Structure 1
Amino acid sequence: MIKNGDSSSLNTQLDLSANIAGITFKNPIVMASGTFGFGKEYAKYYDINELGGISGKGLTLQPKAGNQGTRVYETASGMLNSVGLENPGIPAFLEKECAYWETLDTARIVNLGGNTFEDYVTGAELIQQDADRRSDSGRKAVDMIELNISCPNVKEGGIAFGIRTCDARELVRAVRRATSLPLSVKLSPNAEDVADMALMCQEEGADAVSLINTISGMKIDVRRRRSVFNNLYAGLSGPAIKPIALRMVHQVAKRVEIPIIGMGGISSATDIIEFIMAGATVVQVGTYNFMNLRAGEDLLRDLRQFMIEENIYSLDEIRGIV
């Protein structure tokens, strides 16, 4: 219960913090992979150390140039993207970006992708080796790995690792063995059964699950009579997918005991509250970063104000109450 007082004193009484596998998130607002770079660009607009965390640009073992043609298309209530995981590769990230991440006072999450089983495992090993070297000299740049199992498995005809639980199990198990860093598995909404997938991740030692990733969608150029995207389909994100994401987070929360990182269409403080009530420990904000360059700052302010107005001292009071 919040005691009566002025707004500034009430703010200091609020407890927005959360803990996942020993990693402290000062508040539940984490910037989603693929929408925030590695943080430098947004640091020009507000203090990103005020965020709960950052999930960096998705990384693969080798650099990727990304997809050709149109990459982003605005929809009625969100956006379609077909960026293709453009990234500098894990070795370049560790060499060039981690020095900056060492200076940050927020949870730092590496989003790990791959096109083969071996790519994922080798990538996790490199991240772990770098973490060990930095730890030996009292430094730290990475707090957690977020395993993106929505990438296509090129050895299995291109089907995403995260569709069939049997395929994903082997991958999660191998990556868990390759690193001692806290591990969250980012789940695809296209999984055969997302709750079963989450339960499998828990069984294989994941410390958390993140959901949902984008939903496959399409846009046709009726004048040119072809898909807008060279790859035909693209990932739909933004407010349009929030009801689906919220439902899946709620379903998973009823099946697993590990923390949930909820995401999908969050653009307001009340959106955050909904995900927390559905069972999320923290949330990730993605598409809204493109709409509002100060999204993190604004959401944190509005979340605090909502908690004061609703007489909520700690988010633990409402987490998973629905």
Structure 2
Amino acid sequence: MANLQVNLGRLALNNPVMTASGTFGYGIEFADLIDLNRLGGIIVKGTTLHPREGNDYPRMAETASGMLNCVGLQNKGVDYFCKQIYPQIEGYDTNMIVNVSGNTPEDYAECAARIADLPGIPAIELNISCPNVKNGGMAFGVTCEGAAAVVKAVRRAYDKTLIVKLSPNVTDIAAIAQAVEAEGADSVSLINTLMGMSIDIERKRSRLSIGTGGLSGPAVKPVALRMVWQVAKAVKIPVVGLGGIMNATDAIEFMMAGATAIEIGTANFIDPTVTIKVIEGMNEWLDRHGIKDIKDIIGAINQ
């Protein structure tokens, strides 16, 4: 078997396969289906400083080769996570990573600071696709200045591994990656969902309660792959690739494009054991090609 270990800065992963936030709950929901300890990491659902109800229903819609969602970061807040969820997940032998969201840089920083006190959480992933309530609702992640402001605030409050999840709804994702790298991000993950829409022509209404939502699944993979390739060439920190990964072949493509690790999201809804299948499929491919270390394929695309 090949060596599958990779590193995101100071964070060591037994293999490069992680789960994407919002698609795997807190991990414990899947514990009866797979051995969670086999995963490189689990990124738990989005957590905010205060509880959030999320958007009204309907908030999910199936599309060709994908799905739309506008769940709206429904969660019970960081204090609930620390008191109720953390004791249930701290014992797993994998990297439990919390996805952090907020409405202001101060919100992000305070949420991160509370999570920093939990010894069993070695990293956080910042969702900077959230609306900036101080700037008319424009997402932090669509400008270099907004993205940098959040990372700068969080970096002051949080000294463990900091992964920043980038929005694809921008004109130059590489520039935003460079901006968060300059403020101390240890890694970037991309892509978050693409903005999309679906209409029920009989009702003459959007299939989502707020009109638009985030598109994920196989439909976004070519865009995600291109953006990972661009960002990996633009920054020195590790890149985590996600967006439409359904099998080991998809995962290997992302690593050849420059990703050090990958996240699996929408595929978990179709096959809750897909993460294990991807780990095994990647190892089989490496063995078949005589590759002893998975790091040898990172950025190995012939261009």
User: TM (normalized to structure 1)?
Assistant: 0.92
Q: Deviations over 1:15-47 (max 9, x none)?
A: 011011221100010000000011011111010
Q: Deviations over 1:42-100 (max 9, x none)?
A: 11101011000000000111111111021111111011111111111101001111112
In structure 2, how many angstroms separate the alpha carbons of the residues matched to 1:118 and 1:231? 27
| Alignment of 1:302 onto 2:288 | no
Letter in 2 for 1:103: G
SS in 1 for 2:250: helix
Letter in 1 for 2:281: D
Letter in 1 for 2:82: L
Determine which of 66, 79, 86 is the counterpart of 2:74. 86
| Alignment of 1:225 onto 2:213 | no
In structure 1, how many angstroms separate the alpha carbons of the residues matched to 2:19 and 2:131? 24
Q: CA deviation at 1:192?
A: 3.4
Structure 1: gaps spanning 5 or more residues? 1-10, 132-139
SS in 1 for 2:31: helix
Determine which of 73, 89, 110 is the counterpart of 2:61. 73
SS in 2 for 1:301: helix
Letter in 2 for 1:254: K
Q: CA deviation at 1:280?
A: 0.4
Q: Tell me the equivalent position of 1:212.
A: 191
SS in 1 for 2:155: helix
| Alignment of 1:191 onto 2:179 | no
Deviating above 3 A after TM superposition, structure 1's stretches of 4 or more consecutive aligned residues are none
Q: Tell me the equivalent position of 2:294.
A: 315
SS in 2 for 1:159: coil
Determine which of 213, 226, 240 is the counterpart of 2:219. 240
In structure 2, how many angstroms separate the alpha carbons of the residues matched to 1:239 and 1:311? 29
SS in 2 for 1:190: coil
In structure 2, how many angstroms separate the alpha carbons of the residues matched to 1:21 and 1:91? 28
Determine which of 155, 158, 165 is the counterpart of 2:137. 158
Letter in 1 for 2:96: R
Q: Deviations over 1:128-184 (max 9, x none)?
A: 2x23xxxxxxxx320101011001112211110001111211111111111101101
Q: Tell me the equivalent position of 1:114.
A: 102
In structure 2, how many angstroms separate the alpha carbons of the residues matched to 1:41 and 1:124? 24
Residues 144-183 of structure 1 correspond to what in structure 2 (within 5 A)?
Answer: 144-183=123-162
Aligned residues: 301
SS in 2 for 1:84: coil
Q: CA deviation at 1:267?
A: 0.5
Q: Tell me the equivalent position of 1:43.
A: 31
Q: Tell me the equivalent position of 2:240.
A: 261
In structure 2, how many angstroms separate the alpha carbons of the residues matched to 1:69 and 1:254? 40
Q: Tell me the equivalent position of 2:85.
A: 97
Q: CA deviation at 1:226?
A: 1.2
Letter in 2 for 1:158: G
Structure 2: gaps spanning 5 or more residues? none
Q: Deviations over 1:267-297 (max 9, x none)?
A: 1101111011011010000000000011111
CA contact (8 A) 1:72 1:82 kept: yes
User: TM (normalized to structure 2)?
Assistant: 0.97
Q: CA deviation at 1:248?
A: 0.3
Q: Tell me the equivalent position of 1:252.
A: 231
Q: Tell me the equivalent position of 1:8.
A: none
Give 1 or 2 for the bigger CA radius of gyration: 1
In structure 2, how many angstroms separate the alpha carbons of the residues matched to 1:224 and 1:154? 32
CA contact (8 A) 1:107 1:143 kept: yes
Q: CA deviation at 1:101?
A: 2.1
In structure 1, how many angstroms separate the alpha carbons of the residues matched to 2:289 and 2:220? 26
CA contact (8 A) 2:9 2:237 kept: no
Q: Percent identity?
A: 49
CA contact (8 A) 1:16 1:315 kept: yes
In structure 2, how many angstroms separate the alpha carbons of the residues matched to 1:183 and 1:192? 24
In structure 1, how many angstroms separate the alpha carbons of the residues matched to 2:93 and 2:11? 12
Q: Tell me the equivalent position of 1:201.
A: 180
Determine which of 44, 49, 59 is the counterpart of 1:56. 44
Moved more, 280-289 or 226-235: 226-235
Letter in 1 for 2:131: P
